[in-house]
Amino acid sequence: MKYSLAIVFILLFSCAFAQQTDYVDFTHAKAMITVNPDSASVSGHVIYKFNIEKSVDSIYVDARSMTISEVKLNDEVIPFEYNNHKLIIKKEFQESSENKLLVRYSAQPKKALYFLMRNDDWNIWTQGQGKYTSNWLPSFDDVNEKVIFSFDILAPHGYKVLANGALVSTTPNDNGEMWSYSMEKPMSSYLVALVIGKYDAKKETSDSGIPLENYYYPEDSLKFEPTYRYTKRMFDEMESEIGVPFPWQNYKQIPVHDFLYAGMENASATIFSDAFVVDSIGFNDKNYINVNAHEMAHQWFGDLVTAKSGEHHWLQEGFATYYALLAEKSIFGDDYYHFKLYESAQDLARQALQQDNNALLNPKATSLTFYQHGAWVLHALREKVGDLVFRTAVINYLEKHKFWSVETSDFMFEVEALYDGDLSEFKSRWIESDAFPFDDAIELLRSKSSYIHEYMMVDCDAVDSKCAEYLRYDISDEAKIKVIAQAPQLVTNDTFKSSLKVRQAISQYVTKIPAKLKANYETLLDDDSYLTIESALYNLWVNFPEERSKYLSKTKDIYGLSDYNVRMLWLVLNLNTLEFQSDKTQELYNELLSYTGENYSAEVRMNAFQYLEAIKACNAECQENLEASKAHHNWRMVKFAKVMSEKLKSKS
């Protein structure tokens, strides 16, 4: 096969770039950045200190789609090459230390830094993992290059600026306010964080002396406690369980508008979706506890030690998932812990039937594999080697490789060094195999948890008298829910005397409501669960049309979760109830239509679009908003808009 000289050059050049960390060590970065919200741009400069470990003929910095106005090497202006992706300095570099590289630049980033409006105020935030910080800051896409960062960030007056590390100072000037932050330890560039917005904060200190800063929108003060419930407790218990001190100066958590994911574990500064900012009722339906604990665990597993490549990604996600589950176990108990493991094993089994590429060490494996299979490896390993060996191995692993990159063998080496036995079969079945060892996982659960054993014994596929008895037994909530899901006709008035979770299952699965259950079913509208209220309202409205006005009147002021789940259902049901507020039809429709606008979050907009399509009322304004959604920064919104557009076209 023949290659052109250009292709050969590119291939060789790419290989050289991939190995830069073998020759060059960038140690410190001092960034001075001006954020310009009105133009959705940034400008400024960054100064890197670096050492040449081995002689090399070029160095580079990743910088995507930027305007590079000046480059200085050791305070001298030098020529450079720039291919819209990498800034390249060609020179015969000899072994040396304390070199300086200044890059002056400006950028209008298409991703990784997002300029959004929330309630007519700016809410600006970053997402580096998978998006590349080099879109807005000349930095390093290679996760193995770890740098100690400090930042001077100039932003408009009236906004809070948050970044990695400790706040050193704030200095007002005519153009805004300069916020200075400083890190003490190195991190990968994808962990650089920046948030600008209107925030208040409540601060406390961990048992080990780490400042904990929890941020919230000023209008959400009443949601602070349910949102951040158990935060300090989880932090203290996680630090104790892991056995290695928290690696950064402080820990911040910041909700942002329309985030791409649930959360992101930037070093010392977790950014998370404000969809998890909930009131005390929403806490029962969709709380921040698991995401909170997951991103917290990443501060050690991912931030302190980083997987060298995608092949070892489970060392980040599997560990974070496992330690988050341990945090939840300390709050909700052993049965909760084992049931979550059972659910994840079932999910992994279903995935195995649907697709290949499920191997844990496959860099193209699914998130489910990295997260849940990875967590299962750690649970099974701990059961096999015992608490002492497991915890000591984790400590040794983190201490030996802190602020560095790791492979799977690095962790297993520490376990094998302490365990008096052979782990080759374990590694083969749990880590190296192409498939998740489902049977082994279930047997492990059955042997350790009578709770899971009981749950698995419940089976009402064939309705008989035994199934009816199940709901009268003192069985677990999960077992009752399983019965209700399989045989909703077995629900009696006594079943309503159950927990919030079981009552929620009644609202979900009992869709045909017998008259004898009507009075108890109506009490579901008073439950501290927006999901229960949503399902119960719809089912009552369908089953008892003569009392629709009563149900709508009772729920008229409830908005529900962050996607307005109850409010939007209420609007649609109201529009289809002629005897209730018929004089407000246009007003109600306009409210539903307004939720498709760009000033609302993606989840609110998608909910509104779906309802409008369902009632065949997506008018020209609705379709215009849908078309605009195709340019949204969130790929889920974009995909949704494209699918919905095609659906509307096919019906026109």
Give pLDDT tens digits for 129-171: 999 999 999 999 999 999 999 999 999 999 999 999 999 999 9
Q: Determine the 3-state secondary structure of 170 from DSSP.
A: strand
> Could you tell me the pLDDT band of residue 583, with boundaries at 50, 70 and 90?
confident
Q: Which of 453, 481, 508 is the last residue of a domain?
A: 453
Distances from the Cα of 597 to the Cαs of 589, 592, 627, in angstroms?
A: 14, 10, 11
Residues 449 and 512 in one domain: no
Domain assignment of residue 511, yes or no: yes
pLDDT at residue 4, as a whole number:
41
Question: What value, to the nearest 5°, has the Cα angle with vertex 322 and ends 318 and 328?
Answer: 145
Residues 135 and 24 in one domain: yes
The side-by-side arrangement of strands in the sheet containing 81-82 is: 56-62, 86-93, 81-82
**What percent of the chain lies above the pLDDT cut of 70?**
96
> Could you tell me the pLDDT band of residue 461, with boundaries at 50, 70 and 90?
low
pLDDT tens across 522-532, in order?
999 999 999 99
pLDDT at 43 exceeding the cut of 60: yes
pLDDT at residue 469, as a whole number:
79
pTM of the entire predicted model: 0.95
Domain assignment of residue 296, yes or no: no
pLDDT tens across 71-130, in order?
999 999 999 999 999 999 999 999 999 999 999 999 999 999 999 999 999 999 999 999
pLDDT at 8 exceeding the cut of 70: no
Residues 538 and 435 in one domain: no
Residues 637 and 531 in one domain: yes
Structure-token match 């108890």, residue found: 520
Domain assignment of residue 551, yes or no: yes
pLDDT at 316 exceeding the cut of 60: yes
Looking up residue 126, the CATH number of its domain turns out to be: 2.60.40.1730
Residue range(s) defining the domain that contains residue 544: 500-651
pLDDT tens across 362-403, in order?
999 999 999 999 999 999 999 999 999 999 999 999 999 999
Residues 182 and 39 in one domain: yes
Q: DSSP for 458-525? A: ---SS--HHHHHHTTS---HHHHHHHHHH-GGG--GGGGSS-HHHHHHHHHH--S--GGGHHHHHGGG
pLDDT at residue 51, as a whole number:
98
Residues 426 and 562 in one domain: no
pLDDT at 539 exceeding the cut of 50: yes
Residues 156 and 11 in one domain: yes
Hey, which bits of 284-367 come out as E strands? 305-307
Q: Which of 196, 215, 248 is the last residue of a domain?
A: 196
d(CA 190, CA 175): 29
**What percent of the chain lies above the pLDDT cut of 90?**
91
Domain assignment of residue 631, yes or no: yes
Domain count, the chain: 3
Looking up residue 331, the CATH number of its domain turns out to be: 1.10.390.10
pLDDT at residue 19, as a whole number:
76
pLDDT tens across 595-617, in order?
999 999 999 999 999 999 999 99
Domain assignment of residue 262, yes or no: no
Domain assignment of residue 639, yes or no: yes
pLDDT tens across 162-201, in order?
999 999 999 999 999 999 999 999 999 999 999 999 999 9
